[in-house]
Amino acid sequence: MRTNTLLTLARALIDEKVIIMSERVTPRRRGSYGIDAPLAPVFMAAMTGVELVMAIISGRWQRFVPVTFMLAVLGLYLHHTLRGKFVVWARLIDELRLRGDERILDLGCGRGAVLLMAAQRLTTGRAVGVDLWRNFDQSGNSLEATRRNATAEGVADRVELHTGDMTALPFEDNAFDVVVSSSAVHNISGRAGREKAISEAVRVLRPGGRLMIADIRATRQHAAQLVELGMSAVARRRLGWQPWWVVTATKPENRN
């Protein structure tokens, strides 16, 4: 790895450490949010175990280098899904400067990590979550689990949950002030499906409404598509040291 890359990584890690230590940005979570793509860490742990046994049998210290690396990757993955994404989203929701009366839609809300944090910023507004509740994408995923979390976080009165596909949203045009999504669009297989999800997000957003999508891949394509769809202020940036980007955009006032 080049020195520049190492320096960038170190700076980003320090940034995140400062954010975690400041703690003010992350309200304490009372719900239970599961693990994203639960088979991924199981696979990583199994591979690490195999490598560890091989290293012990070989008796060569060099064999412990990949074991250490794999343990670090596993640790970072678990940190991201159990803690990091909450820290990052607390900051992203701050950026939205919500008034409290908005209708917010979370595409692929899962057990409500982002949906319920957004709901906590609302007074008269509504946080609406739509999902297919796939356990493959998040452990223990179900509408009931998300409802229980809404109660645990004290926002059940402001939360609506719908079973639906984000490529064919069960909502009218211009129905939301804000549309968010976290690590969900990449779960749609095929570029055409992901493009459908992005155009659906734009369709249900009211003129002047804002879009914020964080994901691990295809975000460059989302940004290009949003420009093609006539969205304004389209921007894409990396989130900390993690392989994660956020795309933001606004629907022009004169667009339906």
Ligand X SMILES: C[S@@+](CC[C@H](N)C(=O)[O-])C[C@H]1O[C@@H](n2cnc3c(N)ncnc32)[C@H](O)[C@@H]1O
Please report, as ranges, the residues that interact with ligand X according to CB under 6 A.
36-37, 85, 108-110, 113-114, 130-134, 137-138, 141, 165-167, 182-184, 187-188
Residue 63, both tokens: 């064999």
Minimum Å gap between C-beta 158 and ligand X is 18
DSSP-assigned letters across all residues of 89-144: HHHHHHHH---S--EEEEET-TT-HHHHHHHTT-SS-EEEEEE---TTTBTT--HH
Nearer to ligand X, 67 or 109 (CB): 109
Of 204, 181, 214, whose CA–CA distance to 251 is shortest? 204
**Which CB, 52 or 216, lies closer to ligand X?**
216
CB-nearer residue toward ligand X: 66 or 240: 240
In the bound complex, which residue of the shown chain has the CB atom lying closest to ligand X?
110
Q: What angle do CA 146, 171, 197 make, to 5 degrees?
A: 80
CB 249, min distance to ligand X, A: 18
**What is the end-to-end Cα distance of the chain in Å, rounded?**
48
Specify the residue, 151 or 255, whose C-beta has the smaller distance to ligand X: 151
Which of 141/242 has CB closer to ligand X? 141
Q: What distance in Å separates the CA atoms of residue 250 and residue 81, rounded to the nearest whole number?
A: 28
Of 148 and 255, the one with the shorter C-beta distance to ligand X is: 148
**What is the C-alpha separation between 236 and 210, in angstroms, rounded?**
14
| Contacts of residue 147, Cβ cutoff 8 Å, sequence gap at least 6 | 156, 159, 161
**Rounded to the nearest whole angstrom, what is the least distance from the CB of residue 238 to ligand X in the complex?**
17
Shortest separation between residue 80's beta carbon and ligand X, angstroms? 10
CB of 245 to ligand X, least distance (A): 14
Torsion over CA of 161, 180, 183 and 19, rounded to 10 degrees?
-120
Q: How far is the CB of 137 from ligand X (least distance, A)?
A: 4
